[in-house]
Amino acid sequence: MKSTIRTFLGGVAAAAMLTAGAVSAQADSWKYAFEESLTEVQGVYATKFKEAIEANSDHTVQLFPYGTLGESADIMEQAQAGILQFVNQSPGFTGALIPEAQVFFVPYLLPTDQDHLARFYKESKAINEGFTDLYAEQGLELLSMYPEGEVAMTTKEPVKTCEDLNEVKFRVMTNPLLVESYKAFGATPTPLPWGEVYGGLQTNIIQGQENPTFFLYSTGIYEVTDYITYTGHNNFTTALMANKGFFDGLSDEDQQLIEEAASSAYDYIVDYQKGLADSEIKKIMEAKPEMTVTVLSEEERACFKEAAAEVEDKFIEMTGESGKAILDQLKADLEATEES
């Protein structure tokens, strides 16, 4: 009798374990790393993505801000290895892995108008078709690309022309085309991971760097530079990706869940950024009234625009026919999404 009861109870326990296993298989915890803090643009996007996933499923999303899992190269390796399910990274770093992604660093390719940018990233054939295949070749599912704001140069001396960058050691991301851009601008490009930039400026190892305005304030980089200059040469681009093996192994329902979460986070973040640069530059000026902020005139931008043609040629040289096709499609997409 006791043996029969044990057998029965054992069967119940086994059934319970199987049921629990089925539930846990349906309700997963996904890991998502990005290159900024929770309060910066990538962090705000990630938070909205997480909220959408968790509001519409039993899944949970763990967020890992910059530094918690290493530098940009570290989180990309972890995403490709499947340790992370999601990674948000700028083509500035991904460009070493996917050379065509460096197209976003061709100067004066992207407009500064935020509404135009919002339409472009969402509707671009190059992004939503061409880049999808290129990322897939590296084991990544491209879910979204979005803008983070116009890039500004921060330096220790004023910049009005390319000549002012002569011999200036200018920090760039580890991106071959960005190196070529600052060579063309007249500077001495110096690739450094972000964690070394503040100290590098503080000790004069470097004398300049570039980033969107919100990042200049949130990271305190304005504290170790004296001039902020807007040349209009670029808008910072970033991308959300999933490990492709993970994504392809999901049900159609979960794939749709993720795509809709990425889309809703995109809509939120482009709206969130409206006026963000103005509010952050105001905070910088309140914290450091002696900071000089300059928006270059069209005449002052002339040398930078001339250099852009040289950088575009370098991009095509680096990436061949594939890169040229992407560049041509991006230009067509930009024209198609521009409103008169």
Mean pLDDT by 10 residues, the chain (340 residues): 41 39 64 96 98 98 96 93 96 85 95 92 94 95 96 97 96 91 96 93 97 95 97 95 98 98 97 93 97 96 95 96 96 88
- What is the distance between the terminal CA atoms of the chain, rounded to a whole angstrom? 86
Residue-level pLDDT at 299? 95
Q: With left for phi above 0 and alpha for psi between -120 and 50, is residue 275 left, alpha or beta?
A: left
Structure tokens at 116: 């135009």
Phi, psi (degrees; rounded to nearest 5) at 285: -70, -30
* Closest to 256 in 3D by CA, of 44, 22, 47, 53: 53
Q: Which residues contact 113 (CB under 8 A, 6 or more apart)?
A: none
Topology given in CATH for the domain delimited by 29-312+327-336: D-Maltodextrin-Binding Protein; domain 2 (3.40.190)
Phi, psi (degrees; rounded to nearest 5) at 234: -165, 160
d(CA 210, CA 25): 44
Residue-level pLDDT at 21? 37
Q: How many C-beta neighbours within 10 Å does residue 329 have?
A: 18
Residue-level pLDDT at 14? 40
Q: How many C-beta neighbours within 10 Å does residue 159 have?
A: 24
Residue-level pLDDT at 97? 87
Where exactly are the structural domains of the chain? Answer: 29-312+327-336
Torsion of CA 193, 194, 196, 202, to 10 degrees: 140
Exposed, middle or buried, 220 (CB in 10 Å: 0-12/13-18/19+)? exposed
Entry pTM: 0.87
